[in-house]
Amino acid sequence: MSESLQYHEQGKPGKLTVVPSKSCRTAKELSLAYTPGVALPSLEIKKQPQNAYRYTGKGNLVAVISNGTSVLGLGNIGPLAGKPVMEGKVVLFKRFANIDGFDLEINETDPRKLAAIIASLEPTFGGINLEDIRAPDCFLVEEELCKRLSIPVFHDDQHGTAVITSAALLNALELVGKNLQDVRIVFSGAGAAAIACARMFLNLGVKKEQILLCDSDGVISTARLRKLNKYKAQFAQKTNKRTLAEALQGADVFIGVSKGNIVTVEMVRSMATKPIVLAMANPIPEISYEDGKAARPDLIMATGRSDYPNQVNNVLGFPFIFRGALDVQAIAINTEMKLAAIRALSQLAHEPVPVEVIKAYGRHFRFGPEYIIPKPFDPRVLYYVAPAVAKAAMETGVARKKVTILEYTASLKELAQQLAKGKFLG
């Protein structure tokens, strides 16, 4: 049996359990936990719904929801086969931000019906993390939920990827001395992650005409407009370029969110001076790290893998974005909150790396071509990103609760120490 299968099967199958947060060992405690004592908080919530955040676990509970139509690199494997992945996501919420989660695998492929099912769950949760729903369905589901719900909705395949990729891009451009307004960016992939990244780049200041998206049929151009869905169509460009190879000629940046081994050494060599390649297909990137570096000594490169420098890993984003959103009882995760997370991650990569991170990875790190984004096991990510997100939520009017940022940051530093010691894990 493989190590992975043994890990998932040993002891209690799966990766999750439910543990009460209050004692229930005596007759009195039983009467408080359930009838008759439980009636009082129920009546208080009936009078004022916001009291649910005082008397229940709603405020620290996120639903990790998928219909299994686009799971990791496995494709449409269905909701049941996707359950190990969703359980894993819940584990990451707990490990990195002490957020409780339930994984919910829903057997529904109609996006409107799926949105309706998820919307009906709002009383239970403080936030919704959508996961592994195929494009373009994922856009419709998220749009519908954001209209209907007053709790944060976050599709991690879109926005988590966009946040981490944007932080990496900002720092890589700083190192090569190029400006966002001037660079030409080429995408391989035109699904959820690519479109979310492209939208975020526009928010950062990249010019729309400087972005070319490529899907399996080639460059997203106006010549194909009639056959494009509305999400791809918004990035259609008037261009004579038709293939990925043609698009990459003279490009400053390559963003890969597609499949492995589709970029050649020759393509990288055709790019502009000091190119940036973020080849994030997993487990096999669009071009291997070795081939990319061999093609261009002036290259800055990142992948989605942990065994090479500059891993673009969504775990740097979603636990901490939700932590900040939940702690101010935000009604949404808006663009300003995502931009705040990007800037916090970008800033953190410039800071000296603490000893515990060096021990975790067995090497030193310093801001530069092989360290453009922080590492997932850096405890500082929690108290850099979450306060930035909370602050942005308060400033943009989507927070229902106010916190003092200095005090909040101090509390997160204590939490980070506890998390590093594994306090909240079984």
Does residue 153 carry a pLDDT above 60?
A: yes
| Residue 170 to residue 350: CA distance in whole angstroms | 12
Any bridge partners for residue 214, and if so which? 188, 219
Same domain? 140 vs 242? no
Give the mean pLDDT of the chain.
Answer: 96
Structure tokens at 149: 């719900």
Q: Cα separation of 257 and 177, whole Å?
A: 25
Supply the pLDDT for residue 173.
98
pLDDT band at 372 (very low <50, low <70, confident <90, very high): very high
CA gap 418, 299 in Å, rounded: 39
Is pLDDT at 360 greater than 70 in this prediction?
yes
Same domain, 319 and 404: yes
- Read off the pLDDT of each residue in 60-87 and give the average, rounded to a whole number: 95
Count of domains observed in the chain: 3
What would the DSSP string read from start to end of 122-150? TTT-SEEEE-S--TTHHHHHHHHHHHH-S
Residues 413 and 297 in one domain: no
Asked whether residue 426 carries a pLDDT value surpassing 80, the answer given is no
d(C-alpha 230, C-alpha 227), whole Å = 10
Give per-residue pLDDT as tens, 250-307.
999 999 999 999 999 999 999 999 999 999 998 899 999 999 999 999 999 999 998 8
58, 89, 178, 232: which one is catalytic?
Answer: 89
Q: Judging by DSSP bridges, how do beta strands 211-215 and 218-219 pair with one another? A: antiparallel
One of 28, 34, 55, 413 is an active-site residue; which one? 34
Q: What pLDDT, on the 0 to 100 scale, is given for residue 74?
A: 86
What's the rounded mean pLDDT across residues 109-138?
A: 97
Q: How confident is the model at residue 356 (pLDDT cuts 50, 70, 90)?
A: confident
- Give the domain CATH number at 76: 3.40.50.10380
Of the pLDDT bands very low, low, confident and very high (cuts 50, 70, 90), residue 423 is: confident
Residues 227 and 211 in one domain: yes
pLDDT at 363: 87
420 vs 292 pLDDT, higher one? 292
pLDDT at 72: 82
Q: Does the pLDDT of residue 1 top 90, yes or no? A: no
14 assigned to some structural domain? yes
- Asked if residue 28 is part of any domain, the answer here is no
In this prediction, what percent of the chain has a pLDDT beyond 90?
91
pLDDT at 73 over 80: no
Query: Domain of 281: which CATH number?
Result: 3.40.50.720
- State yes or no: is 89 an active-site residue: yes
* Same-domain check for residues 247 and 345: no
- Cα separation, 330 vs 325, in Å, equals 5
Which residues pair with residue 103 across a beta bridge?
A: 64
Return the pLDDT at 402.
97
Percentage, residues of the chain above pLDDT 70:
100
Tell me, yes or no, if 383 is annotated catalytic. no
Q: Given 97, 122, 151, which residue is the final one in a domain?
A: 151
Whole domain around residue 298: which residue ranges? 159-303
